[in-house]
């Protein structure tokens, strides 16, 4: 970031203040500082006349002759300190003059409650821990500029405590998911992020180069094919919670790197995954949000069990008419166009039907809904249903109109898998993961598998409208 000339004026003033403090014997960038606790813990266990030693960033300062009130911010929490000339002594009081908003201080003293009822630390002594050379955003309105909030998230976190609280929720949601999964006996593993071929999903990968091997490599688009190798190797319950990378567009629900938990259970199927995700999400919501009613207004969702389960076919029949699957293709095309859908002339029935699902149905599914028995052409890596080869034994969990978690009865037939890979590769043998096929030929147990989009789940649980509000440093175009 370049500094405009006027920004330097603020900086010059602060450098001068730093100089004065230094001349008075203060160290502008101090050492480790032993606190009796955080501000949050101190406020929670507050008792008058208790001694306390706290640290934080000065975010307000009200000076009145021979006494000063200031707020120390520690994470999202603030505590007022009272600096009185009689108490800290003449010199320390004079030196406080050169403290700027944004400086980190330590303060030692006794807790009390002011006349107006605010919990406050009466300082007997203060310590300079770090001098800030640049000013903070506005104290009342916070930092509003959306672009600055993302580009300089640290300022957003300082100025907008609710942002910090949201990310604290994110941390707890992920921690509780791990607790839930390990509680069910799932082992957390790590598989390659740098892969010689980017398999396990249909997406454009980021390409990179491993110089030492003289080989082109890819950032993974999914961990799936490695986790399945672990099923072959005898792991029966595994998960990996980490980043995937997809070289595709940015919008309010897509970031090129996003967090996903993939879960596999040997001898399970998509129904065991269904029960697992419902239990995980409701438990996490209850623990972290304290309720199954999450979000507010347009973002409100009711997570109460049992969640709706409905077949893709039934959703289509309800939307497109009970006779939909019996209509001649041309009649069906016309009906879709009557729904104001843009249907190219070369689309087959499956494509038209899916357009109806995506454009008209999916966004209406607000509370959690398992959409089951999807057409086989939509999901090439899943097992067909035993009673109907045209549909696969999968679910798509939709919440707030978006796909949150797909779950499969995994394909473990190596011959069928090879056929589908060859179909996808269209004759390009280099695109087929032979090593994975070899693994399958050694025998993979039947298994249920599922991926939960963590960022989207966190959007649902926190009521966030954009993925950029739940990712600390969302991807933006570089700017000088």
Interaction site with RNA (CB under 7 A): 4-7, 9-10, 13, 17, 60-67, 69, 80, 82, 84-86, 100-101, 112, 114-118, 120, 135-148, 150, 249, 251-252, 342, 359, 465-466, 468, 476-477, 479
- Partners of 422 in beta bridges: none
The answer to whether the peptide bond before residue 306 is cis (omega within 30 degrees of 0) is: yes
| 347-373 burial code (b ≥16 CB/10 A, e <16) | bebeebbbbbbeebbbeebbebbbbbb
By beta-carbon proximity to RNA, the closer residue of 351 and 425 is 351
Question: Directed axis angle between helix 270-289 and helix 161-183, to 10°?
Answer: 140
Contacts of 307 (CB under 8 A, 6+ apart): 278, 367, 368, 369, 370, 397
Q: How far is the CB of 465 from RNA (least distance, A)?
A: 7
By beta-carbon proximity to RNA, the closer residue of 453 and 474 is 474
Q: Which tokens go with 184?
A: 């069910």
Q: How far is the CB of 98 from RNA (least distance, A)?
A: 8
By beta-carbon proximity to RNA, the closer residue of 183 and 401 is 401
- Give the separation between CA 56 and CA 94, rounded to whole angstroms: 20
Q: How far is the CB of 63 from RNA (least distance, A)?
A: 5
By beta-carbon proximity to RNA, the closer residue of 38 and 67 is 67
Q: How far is the CB of 456 from RNA (least distance, A)?
A: 15
Query: Which segments of 307-365 are extended strands (E)?
Result: 308-311
By beta-carbon proximity to RNA, the closer residue of 89 and 192 is 89
Q: How far is the CB of 166 from RNA (least distance, A)?
A: 16
Q: Which tokens go with 125?
A: 């002594």
- Give the separation between CA 387 and CA 372, rounded to whole angstroms: 14
By beta-carbon proximity to RNA, the closer residue of 159 and 284 is 159
Quickly count: other Cβ atoms within 10 Å of residue 214's Cβ. Answer: 7
Q: How far is the CB of 218 from RNA (least distance, A)?
A: 22
Tell me the longest C-alpha to C-alpha distance in the chain. Answer: 93
Contacts of 294 (CB under 8 A, 6+ apart): 285, 300, 301, 303, 460, 461, 462, 463
CA R_g for the chain? 29
By beta-carbon proximity to RNA, the closer residue of 4 and 234 is 4
By beta-carbon proximity to RNA, the closer residue of 136 and 231 is 136
CA angle (83 as vertex; 81, 88 as ends), nearest 5:
130
- The dihedrals phi and psi of 446, each to the nearest 5 degrees, come to -55, 145
- Give the separation between CA 409 and CA 418, rounded to whole angstroms: 17
Q: How far is the CB of 95 from RNA (least distance, A)?
A: 13
Q: How far is the CB of 326 from RNA (least distance, A)?
A: 27
By beta-carbon proximity to RNA, the closer residue of 9 and 438 is 9
| H or E element, residue 257 | strand 257-266
Q: How far is the CB of 111 from RNA (least distance, A)?
A: 11
- Give the separation between CA 200 and CA 198, rounded to whole angstroms: 7
Q: How far is the CB of 23 from RNA (least distance, A)?
A: 15
Length of the chain: 480
By beta-carbon proximity to RNA, the closer residue of 251 and 435 is 251
Q: Tell me how far the alpha carbon of residue 77 is from its chain's centroid.
A: 22
Q: How far is the CB of 329 from RNA (least distance, A)?
A: 21
By beta-carbon proximity to RNA, the closer residue of 40 and 101 is 101
Q: Of 225, 211, 255, 266, which is closest to residue 453 (Cα–Cα)?
A: 255
């Amino acid at each position: 970031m370049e500094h405009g000339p006027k920004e330097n004026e603020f900086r010059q003033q602060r450098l001068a203040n730093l100089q004065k403090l230094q001349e008075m014997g203060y160290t502008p960038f101090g050492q480790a500082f032993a606190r009796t606790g955080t501000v949050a813990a101190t406020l929670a266990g507050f008792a008058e006349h208790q001694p306390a030693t706290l640290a934080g960033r000065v975010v307000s300062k009200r000076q009145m002759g021979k006494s000063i009130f200031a707020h120390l911010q520690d994470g999202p929490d603030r505590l007022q300190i009272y600096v009185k000339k009689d108490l800290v002594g003449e010199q320390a009081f004079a030196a406080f003059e050169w403290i700027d908003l944004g400086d980190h201080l330590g303060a030692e003293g006794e807790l009390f409650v002011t006349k107006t009822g605010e919990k406050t630390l009466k300082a007997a002594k203060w310590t300079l821990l770090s001098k800030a050379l640049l000013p903070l955003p506005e104290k009342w309105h916070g930092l509003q500029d959306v672009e600055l909030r993302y580009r300089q998230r640290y300022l957003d976190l300082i100025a907008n405590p609710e942002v910090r609280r949201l990310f604290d929720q994110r941390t707890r949601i992920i921690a509780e998911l791990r607790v839930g999964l390990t509680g069910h006996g799932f082992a957390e593993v790590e598989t390659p992020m740098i892969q010689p071929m980017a398999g396990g999903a249909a997406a454009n990968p980021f390409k990179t180069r491993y110089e030492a091997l003289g080989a082109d490599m890819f950032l993974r688009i999914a961990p799936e094919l490695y986790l399945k190798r672990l099923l072959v190797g005898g792991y029966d319950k595994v998960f990996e919670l980490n980043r995937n990378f997809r070289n595709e567009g940015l919008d309010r629900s897509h970031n090129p790197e996003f967090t996903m938990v993939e879960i596999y259970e040997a001898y399970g199927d998509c129904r065991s995954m269904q029960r697992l995700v419902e239990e995980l999400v409701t438990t996490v919501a209850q623990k972290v949000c304290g309720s199954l009613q999450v979000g507010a207004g347009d973002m409100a969702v009711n997570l109460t069990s049992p969640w709706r389960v409905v077949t893709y076919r039934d959703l289509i029949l309800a939307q497109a008419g009970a006779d939909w699957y019996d209509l001649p293709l041309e009649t069906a095309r016309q009906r879709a166009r009557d729904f104001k859908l843009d249907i190219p002339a070369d689309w087959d029935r499956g494509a038209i039907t899916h357009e109806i699902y995506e454009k008209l149905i999916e966004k209406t599914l607000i509370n959690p809904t398992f959409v089951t028995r999807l057409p086989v052409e939509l999901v090439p890596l899943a097992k067909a249903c035993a009673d109907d080869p045209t549909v696969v034994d999968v679910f798509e969990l939709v919440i707030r109109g978006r796909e949150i978690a797909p779950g499969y009865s995994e394909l473990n037939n190596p011959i069928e898998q090879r056929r589908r890979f060859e179909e996808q590769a269209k004759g390009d043998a280099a695109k087929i993961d032979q090593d994975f096929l070899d693994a399958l030929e050694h025998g993979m147990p039947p298994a249920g598998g599922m991926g939960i989009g963590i960022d989207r789940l966190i959007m649902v649980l926190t009521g966030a409208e954009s993925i950029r509000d739940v990712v600390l440093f969302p991807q933006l175009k570089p700017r000088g």
